[in-house]
Amino acid sequence: PPHGRLGCFPRPLRSAPLQQWCRGSPGSRPFSSPLFFSAGRQEPSGAMGCTVSAEDKAAAERSKMIDKNLREDGEKAAREVKLLLLGAGESGKSTIVKQMKIIHEDGYSEEECRQYKAVVYSNTIQSIMAIIKAMGNLQIDFGDPSRADDARQLFALSCTAEEQGIMPEDLSNVIRRLWSDNGVQACFNRAREYQLNDSAAYYLNDLERIAKMDYIPTQQDVLRTRVKTTGIVETHFTFKDLHFKMFDVGGQRSERKKWIHCFEGVTAIIFCVALSAYDLVLAEDEEMNRMHESMK
């Protein structure tokens, strides 16, 4: 039967070193025995250690790349300015956009200016036609009665010219004679009583240059063109390391319902009011003063 302290161990563990330890022998200590090394914590093998290390390194690289991209996106967003132009129709919103392009983007190229040629012709024809029509409503007679024939010729030639975006010589001569008439000038001076483009006098006074065969619109000609804005027009330009996004929206009442879609993320809103419109009425409501409409 087992006796002493050896009795607490199963038979296979009764090795000489262990017996010495159990008897209190000053021989080998248990931690120097192979038995106790096998029972301790096992270190991962070399191959497994390399695999974990490589995965950790790849994850760290991905994390650094994500942080870098987020930082760059943040810096880019900080340099981005979103401007929204609002205001009633013909308050100058599109003109501001053109001015920003001319000032900060080296203006319009020759090819871009050529594309505005038809718009210049259309604005010129529409302006003189608006004046002639208003003469009947305002009961203003031509200074020279023979100009009535020119007026009829104007309406006969204008439709084809506008559709084709041209200014035929016979049409330009008719417009020039009408514009020099005293009755037409008297009607022009009462422009507040009807709808007339702000650029009417600019184009009509310079008709000789505009009507030339080799005419190419200048930066100023393009700036003064009038095209009704529908929908949303986006323009980009850079100034002092800031990237500006300018949004131009139509100002007529029918277009204002689209404004709400442009407010997200806006840095600033520029509300435009034309001071020259203090005595003018809306094109869509001739009983509403433009200035009052802007301040509503």
Higher pLDDT, 179 or 282: 179
- Residue 36 has which token pair? 């106790």
Q: Return the minimum-mean-pLDDT range out of 23-37, 119-133, 194-208.
A: 23-37
Higher pLDDT, 74 or 246: 246
Q: Is the pLDDT of residue 88 over 90?
A: no
Q: What is the mean pLDDT of the chain?
A: 81
- Active site (catalytic) residues: 90, 95, 226, 248, 252
Residue 40's pLDDT is 47
pLDDT tens per residue, range 233-286: 888 888 888 888 888 877 565 566 666 666 778 889 898 888 888 888 887 787
Residue 180's pLDDT is 96
- Which one of 3.40.50.720, 3.30.830.10, 1.10.400.10, 1.10.10.10 gives the CATH number of domain 109-224? 1.10.400.10
Domain ranges of the chain: 79-92+228-294, 109-224
Higher pLDDT, 248 or 187: 187
Q: Is 92 annotated as a binding residue?
A: yes
Higher pLDDT, 40 or 192: 192
pTM of the predicted structure, to 2 decimals: 0.69
Q: Is 235 annotated as a binding residue?
A: no
Q: Is 115 annotated as a binding residue?
A: no
Q: Which of 68-72, 76-80, 238-242, 283-287 has the highest mean pLDDT?
A: 238-242
The confidence band for 30, taking pLDDT boundaries of 50, 70 and 90, is very low
Residue 9's pLDDT is 46
Q: Is 198 annotated as a binding residue?
A: yes
- Which one of 3.40.50.300, 3.40.80.10, 3.30.70.890, 3.30.420.280 gives the CATH number of domain 79-92+228-294? 3.40.50.300
pLDDT tens per residue, range 34-57: 444 444 445 444 444 455 578 888
Provide, rounded to the nearest whole percent, the portion of the chain with pLDDT above 90: 38
Residue 239's pLDDT is 84
Q: Is 225 annotated as a binding residue?
A: yes
The confidence band for 17, taking pLDDT boundaries of 50, 70 and 90, is low
Q: Is the pLDDT of residue 105 over 70?
A: yes
Q: Return the minimum-mean-pLDDT range out of 44-58, 94-108, 124-138, 159-173.
A: 44-58
- In this chain, the answer to whether the domains covering 79-92+228-294 and 109-224 adopt an identical fold is no
DSSP the chain: ---GGGGGS-GGG--HHHHHHHTT-SS--GGGSHHHHHHSPPPPPHHHHHHHHHHHHHHHHHHHHHHHHHHHHHHHHHTEEEEEEEESTTSSHHHHHHHHHHHHS----HHHHHHTHHHHHHHHHHHHHHHHHHHHHTT---SSTTHHHHHHHHHHHHHHHHHHT---HHHHHHHHHHHT-HHHHHHHTTGGGS---TTHHHHHHTHHHHTSTT----HHHHHT------SEEEEEEEETTEEEEEEEE--SGGGGGGGGGG-TT-SEEEEE--GGGTT-B-SS-TTSBHHHHHH-
The confidence band for 33, taking pLDDT boundaries of 50, 70 and 90, is very low
